[in-house]
Structure 1
Amino acid sequence: MTEAITDTLIKVPQHVAIIMDGNGRWAQQRGKTRVAGHKSGVESVRTSVSTAIKYGVKALTLFAFSSENWQRPEQEVSVLMDLFMFVLTREVKKLHKNDVRFQVIGDVSRFSENLQKKIKVSEDLTANNKGMVLSVAANYGGRWDIANAAKILAEKVSNNTMSVDDITEEALHQYTCLANLPELDLLIRTGGDFRISNFLLWQAAYAEFYFTETLWPDFDEQALINAMGCFDQRERRFGQTGEQIKI
């Protein structure tokens, strides 16, 4: 089945982002704790990373923990932080072996000192790798990303190193979290909801959206291929007419 679908793919998205939703509901349906759902979701992360590498995706960005997720029960947040630390410790060497460059985007200052150190060690280890870029959004919000870029520009104007007239879309883009990556092509959300939950608001301006009812722990290789197959069938016009695109 996989072979048949991928053989027909003409366009593989260069940059894919995923809102990994549905761990809690997956666990609830099976009489398990939400924590068990998050742990099961780790395997889907591994599968998505390996599948993206396999089919030539240049950048994969995963929404792991939003700035709003601090409002969840304290025990769940604590477990998520521990799980993040565990996954980094266990997986980063595998990523490095596969030439993946790893980075965390978001305000990491709220994390524990140990987790901040582990993030830095992981980023430093893979910094010179030339393969796929895996970005994990943690304590991230799209509004925060834009506001942070605007703050940097404001500081430059205040320091007289930049003129107000120099503030453009391109200038602001330069200071957003993923400015060094290809433009976002495909934004996937699992779990059945039809919203992007403050994720990559700037970057998603021209992205194709793909929503699936599949819960994150059930999102396997075929599910990602199906999403990319849907992207392959979209006509991306970027403001032009269909006739112009075909010229």
Structure 2
Amino acid sequence: MSTNEQLIGRADIDDLEAILAVSAPDQQESIRAVKDNADAIFTWDYEKGSRPALNKLYEKAKVSMWNGETDLPWDTVVDQEEVARNNAVLAGGFGDADLTGTPFATWGDKEWTELGMEFQNWSLSQFMHGEQGALICTAKIVETVPWIDAKYYASTQVMDEARHVEVFARYLDTKLSGHYPLNAHLGLLLDDIIADSRWDMTYLGMQIMVEGLALAAFGFMHQMTTEPLLKKLLRYVMSDEARHVAFGVLTLKEYYA
């Protein structure tokens, strides 16, 4: 059995110093290569609907496509400072936390608002990077899964993920005040999922774990934000993500049975 050190590079899972020592990718790099160790699989069984649940999901995906260019009100004026202030009020700040002796103790409204704005930039940047990870992983599923119904559905998810990357990038570029690079730990997770040669691990890592967490994160932000464009964008994305998680559950339920 592999040790923690072999799997994650440290003996103690909760070694905070080692966790924080992981560095982010070079911000100057415009591309990042990750070796894909999987074989591309052809199937000559083209019978559509032999897996009815996947076929139903595929048919639903066909009629659920939306256009990020035309279906979102991009003419909405976004006041990022106001959004940050509203988010802070809804979140309740630090509540009764004692900030004495910390850098936060001297902060006023200006600093808290700036932090809120940077948190928006960071959060949506990670959503964007994660969606590109999902785009790559789903394309890998098309290549590696041996069932035609799964290949059909996965091809629709590739389109979904491309659309998600597109709209998050546009929102960051036109409505917020900056991008952040890929978080180092999210990058390690995506690397591990992409590099694994087993097609079911792509499902388990992306369709179940990452997509499930993303759905929860999108739902939380959708609930908290008062900004109408972002709210509508997230609602569209969440409707896709629910299908993506279902795709993972349906496929692995059969494969692991």
> Shorter-normalised TM-score: what interval?
under 0.3
Q: Which has the larger radius of gyration?
A: 2
Q: Whose strand proportion is higher, 1 or 2?
A: 1
Q: TM-score, normalised by structure 1?
A: 0.26
